[in-house]
A and B are shown apart, each in its own frame.
Chain A
Amino acid sequence: MSKNICTLRFAIAGVLASLLMAPAVHADTTLLNASYDPTREFYKDFNAAFAKHYKAQAGETVTIQQSHGGSGKQARSVIDGLEADVVTLALESDIDAIVQNGGKIKPDWRARLGNNSSPYTSTIVFLVRKGNPKGIKNWGDLVKGDVKIVTPNPKTSGGARWNYLAAWAWANEEFKGDQAKIKAYIADLYKRAPVLDSGARGSTVTFAQREIGDVLLAWENEAFLAGEEFGKDAFEIVVPPISILAEPPVAVVDANVDAKGTRKVAEAYLNYLYSDEGQNLAAKHFYRPANRAVVKPELLKALPDIKLVTIDDPQFGGWKKTQPEHFGDGGIFDQIYKPAR
Chain B
Amino acid sequence: MSAVASHKKPPRVGDGPVFRRLLIGIVLSLGALLILAPLLVIGHEAFKQGVKVYTSTLNHPDTRHAIMMTVITALIAVPVNTAFGVAAAWAITKFDFRGKRLLLVVIEIPFSVSPIVAGVAYLFVYGLQGLFGPWLDAHDIKILFALPGIVLASMFVTAPFVARELIPLMQAQGRDLEEAATSLGASGWRTFFSVTLPNVKWALLYGVVLCNARVMGEFGAVSIVSGNIRGQTNTLPLHIELLYHDYQAAGAFASASILALLAVFTIIAKVALERRGAGRRKAQATDAVSTGH
Contacts and interface: CB of A to CB of B under 8 A. Distances in A.
B247 A81 contact: no
B53 to A, nearest CB: 15
A66 interface: yes
A81 B144 contact: yes
B145 A102 contact: no
B8 interface: no
B145 A77 contact: yes
Given A65-B230, A69-B228, A102 B245 contact: no
Contacts of B23: none
Interface in A67-106: 67-69, 77, 79-83, 101-102
Interface residues on A, range: 20 to 34
A22 B61 CA distance: 8
A79 B129 contact: yes
Contacts of B242: 68
A22 B66 CA distance: 11
Given A22-B61, A77-B227, A201 B129 contact: no
Interface string A223-254: 00100011000000000000000000000000
Contact of A102 (B64, B129, B230): B129
B61 A80 contact: no
B227 A67 contact: yes
Interface in B128-153: 128-130, 133, 137, 142, 144-145
Interface in A96-125: 101-102
B68 A20 contact: yes
Contacts of A220: none
B71 A209 contact: no
Interface string B183-210: 0000000000000000000000000000
Given A65-B230, A67-B229, A81-B144, A40 B129 contact: no
A33 to B, nearest CB: 10
Given A80-B129, A82-B227, A205-B245, A22 B65 contact: yes
B246 interface: yes
A67 B228 contact: yes
A339 interface: no
A232 B251 CA distance: 22
A27 interface: no
B67 A19 contact: yes
Contacts of A32: 229
Interface centre among B65, B67, B229 (most CB of A within 10 A): B229
B241 to A, nearest CB: 10
A65 B65 contact: no
Interface string A17-55: 001101101000000100001001000000000000000
Nearest to A38: B245
Nearest to B128: A81
Interface string A154-197: 00000000000000000000000000000000000000000000
A225 to B, nearest CB: 8
Contact of B231 (A65, A82, A209): A65
Nearest to A40: B246
A101 B71 contact: no
Given A37-B245, A81-B144, A202-B245, A67 B68 contact: no
Contacts of B145: 77, 80-83
Contacts of B123: 80
A69 B126 CA distance: 21
Contacts of B64: 19, 22
A16 interface: yes
A230 B247 CA distance: 9
Interface string B45-74: 000000000000000010011011001100
Given A66-B229, A67-B228, A80 B247 contact: no
A201 B142 CA distance: 30
A23 B61 contact: yes
A67 B246 CA distance: 13
Given A16-B71, A65-B232, A80 B128 contact: yes
B127 interface: yes
B249 A209 contact: yes
A83 B140 CA distance: 12
Contacts of A225: 247
Interface string A201-216: 1100100010000000
B228 A68 contact: yes
A83 B229 CA distance: 10
Nearest to B231: A65
A32 B146 CA distance: 13
A80 B228 CA distance: 14
A205 B128 contact: no
A77 B242 CA distance: 17
A127 to B, nearest CB: 14
A59 to B, nearest CB: 25
* Most A-side CB within 10 Å, residue of B71, B127, B249: B127
B129 A67 contact: no
Contacts of A37: 245
Interface of A: 16, 19-20, 22-23, 25, 32, 37, 40, 65-69, 77, 79-83, 101-102, 201-202, 205, 209, 225, 229-230
Given A22-B64, A65-B231, 8 more contacts: A19-B71, A20-B68, A32-B229, A40-B245, A68-B245, A79-B129, A81-B145, A205-B247
